[in-house]
Copies of this chain bind each other. A is one copy, B any other.
Amino acid sequence: MTPRILEIRKNLLKRNDEIARELRSRLLADGVLVVNLVSGPGTGKTSLLRRTLTELRGRGFRVAALVGDLATDNDARRLAETGAPVRQITTDGLCHLEAAMVESHLAAWAPGPLDLLFIENVGNLVCPASYDLGESVRAVLLSVTEGEDKPLKYPTLFHSADVAVLTKIDLAEPCEFDRAAALSNLAAVRPGIPVLETSARTGAGIDAWIDFLLAARSRLAADPLPGR
């Protein structure tokens, strides 16, 4: 990149960070845990989120989702079947969401009082890494179908995550998934990162994922801005 582009990019990221920080403190003050789901395309963000919304609603939590895609509102339609308020953000070619998009969609949308707000990012293991969306939890998903070395090949995104969710574990055997290698690669890039193993199809590991989210919410309610 040329110095001019680097400079512009630096300013854009700085502005994004300011909006994100403001969003995070406002939402945490309102008791809303914001979760940013990031992964490559086809890792199963929408399937996990669908199950998550249903489960949390069943336990009496108020949840909503913002869903980013370059084109189509397929994911928003799939998620709306859970009964939760869902809004699609179409990025029109952009490879990530930005804090300003989240802010303006929230303002126009007003989904009512919430306990948890999920943001499903554009399917991409590169671009979303640098854009704080005001989340308190960044969850990176990695499916057993896509190769154990992804953390090593896309270190920036994995390094920025608070939790890693292995998805589609019901397919581990036909995919000859090397679980030990995946865990060791995750630990190499992000030492100590919590790892949850899930299948949205069978429901395996979903309870542990829900418990993780609710524990994060309780912790942040007690101490809203640890180290941010």
Residues on A facing B (Cβ under 8 Å)? 1, 4-5, 8, 12, 40-43, 69-72, 74, 93-95, 122-127, 143, 145-147, 149-150, 152-156, 168, 171, 174-175
Contacts and interface: CB of A to CB of B under 8 A. Distances in A.
A41 B146 contact: yes
Within the oligomer, what is the number of copies of this chain? Answer: 2
Nearest to A96: B126
Given A145-B145, A145-B168, A174-B171, A153 B71 contact: yes
Contact of A154 (B1, B70, B94, B150): B70
A175 B168 CA distance: 9
Contacts of A72: 149, 152-153
A114 to B, nearest CB: 26
Given A40-B42, A42-B40, A153-B70, A126 B95 contact: yes
5 contacts: A41-B154, A126-B127, A145-B145, A145-B175, A171-B171
B95 A155 contact: no
Contacts of A12: 5
A95 B147 CA distance: 18
Contact of A122 (B4, B126, B174): B126
A206 B91 CA distance: 36
Nearest to A154: B70
A40 B70 CA distance: 14
Contacts of A94: 1
B153 A171 contact: no
